[in-house]
């Protein structure tokens, strides 16, 4: 099969052995696979794949048709449209995943949208609701709100009745982000005048951490799920204590099957109905064929986009 392959810090499309389907797993003929910040870090050698995932084939999310079912896998049938998060290997013509991590693709999604949904909506939903307990009427700040996870978080927060402020550096995208449900869209320099916030979703990383405590409401919660801007910062413990704040960090990739299955069921219950009704959408900034994976990664790195960069596979 053809697969995105990392070699010496570079990514290109290369032939790889077809994956073997195991007990409880489904083999998926991949039609689309989203690109995420973790893939960029893995290409650079900073985020190795967890045990059990391909070491040189990236890809944390994909969508396609079930091509085969392993022993004991009964949730889906051959031909079903499915999407899933995975520890790696999603950016390929075929991928395997445990059936409990897979979700059905809503009929109103095309392949590019489906391939760009699982990682970002699962990450955003888990971070702002499971990790931070966002409630109706609370104030949510989303840093990096134009990206895949950010645009998902804006929609989820607004759909849950929160008051959402979106931080987006590119002013040309402000109107589009507001259309996703943000009550206010500001540049990073304007965030201080928009608070305080009950929940802050941090997708940029270290440069924002100090100011986040200043902008946080009493009993507020910060969850860090992105470090593209840097991953080392000093913490003012007096600020943490004074706000009675909670600072959390979260990733999905290395979680055990039980936890990944739990997040998938939560997305099925609380996210997919909104996708099916049209209340939630998957903005796709641009698509690239798998054969042009290098260009897709470079486009992701340039930023200045709304939504996902997705690889498509015919």
Q: What is the model's pLDDT at position 46?
A: 86
pLDDT at residue 168 is higher than 80:
yes
Do 215 and 273 reside in the same domain of the chain? Answer: no
Q: What is the model's pLDDT at position 230?
A: 80
DSSP string, 225-286: ---TT-S-----HHHHHHTT-EEEE--STT--HHHHHHHHHHHHHHTHHHHHHTSS---EEE
Q: What is the model's pLDDT at position 228?
A: 77
Domain end point (choices 249, 278, 296): 249
Q: What is the model's pLDDT at position 52?
A: 87
Do 67 and 169 reside in the same domain of the chain? Answer: no
Do 105 and 127 reside in the same domain of the chain? Answer: no
pLDDT at residue 223 is higher than 90:
yes
Which residue would you say has higher pLDDT here, 206 or 127? 127
Per-residue pLDDT tens digits for 99-154: 999 999 999 999 999 999 999 999 999 999 999 999 999 999 999 999 999 999 99
Q: What is the model's pLDDT at position 253?
A: 87
Do 127 and 240 reside in the same domain of the chain? Answer: yes
CATH of the domain at 260: 3.90.180.10
Domain that holds residue 187: 121-249
Do 136 and 198 reside in the same domain of the chain? Answer: yes
Domain end point (choices 249, 274, 289): 249
Contacts of 133 (CB under 8 A, 6+ apart): 221
State residue 26 phi and psi, 5-degree precision. Answer: -120, 140
Do 176 and 275 reside in the same domain of the chain? Answer: no
The answer to whether 131 touches 106, Cβ cutoff 8 Å, is no
**What is the rounded CA–CA span in Å between residue 106 and residue 199?**
30
Do 229 and 258 reside in the same domain of the chain? Answer: no
Domain end point (choices 249, 265, 281): 249
Do 148 and 226 reside in the same domain of the chain? Answer: yes
Share of the chain above pLDDT 70, in %: 100
Do 259 and 245 reside in the same domain of the chain? Answer: no
Do 222 and 131 reside in the same domain of the chain? Answer: yes
pLDDT bracket for residue 206 (50, 70, 90): confident
Mean pLDDT of 244-266: 92
Do 219 and 161 reside in the same domain of the chain? Answer: yes
Per-residue pLDDT tens digits for 45-91: 988 888 889 999 999 999 999 999 999 999 999 999 999 999 999 99
Mean pLDDT of 7-30: 96
| pTM score of the predicted model | 0.94
- Residue at token pair 């009745």: 161
CATH of the domain at 235: 3.40.50.720
Q: What is the model's pLDDT at position 217?
A: 96
Do 12 and 107 reside in the same domain of the chain? Answer: yes
Counted domains in the chain: 2
């Amino acid at each position: 099969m053809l697969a995105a392959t990392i070699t010496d810090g570079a990514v290109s499309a290369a032939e790889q052995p077809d994956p073997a389907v195991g007990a409880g797993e489904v083999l998926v003929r991949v039609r689309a696979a989203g690109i995420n910040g973790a893939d960029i870090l893995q290409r650079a050698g900073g985020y190795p794949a967890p045990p059990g995932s391909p070491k040189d084939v990236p890809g944390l999310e994909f969508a396609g048709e079930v091509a085969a079912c392993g022993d004991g896998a009964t949730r889906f049938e051959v031909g079903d449209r499915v999407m899933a998060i995975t520890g790696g290997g999603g950016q390929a013509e075929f991928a395997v995943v445990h059936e409990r991590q897979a979700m059905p693709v809503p009929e109103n999604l095309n392949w590019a949208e489906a391939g760009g949904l699982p990682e970002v909506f699962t990450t955003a939903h888990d971070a702002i609701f499971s990790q931070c307990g966002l409630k109706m009427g609370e104030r949510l700040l989303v840093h990096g709100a134009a990206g895949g996870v950010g645009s998902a978080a804006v929609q989820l927060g607004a759909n849950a009745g929160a008051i959402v402020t979106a931080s987006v550096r590119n002013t040309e995208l402000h109107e589009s982000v507001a259309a996703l449900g943000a009550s206010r869209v500001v540049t990073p320099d304007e965030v201080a005048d928009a608070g305080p916030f009950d929940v802050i979703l941090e997708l940029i990383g270290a440069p924002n951490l100090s100011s986040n405590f200043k902008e946080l409401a009493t009993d507020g919660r910060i969850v860090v799920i992105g470090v593209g801007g840097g991953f080392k910062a000093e913490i003012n413990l007096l600020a943490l204590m004074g706000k009675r704040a909670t600072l959390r960090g979260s990733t999905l990739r290395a979680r055990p099957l039980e936890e990944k299955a739990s997040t998938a069921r939560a997305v099925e219950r609380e996210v997919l109905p909104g996708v099916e009704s049209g209340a939630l959408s998957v903005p796709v900034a641009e698509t690239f064929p798998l054969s042009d994976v290098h260009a897709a990664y470079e486009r992701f790195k340039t930023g200045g986009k709304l939504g996902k960069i997705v690889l498509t596979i015919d």
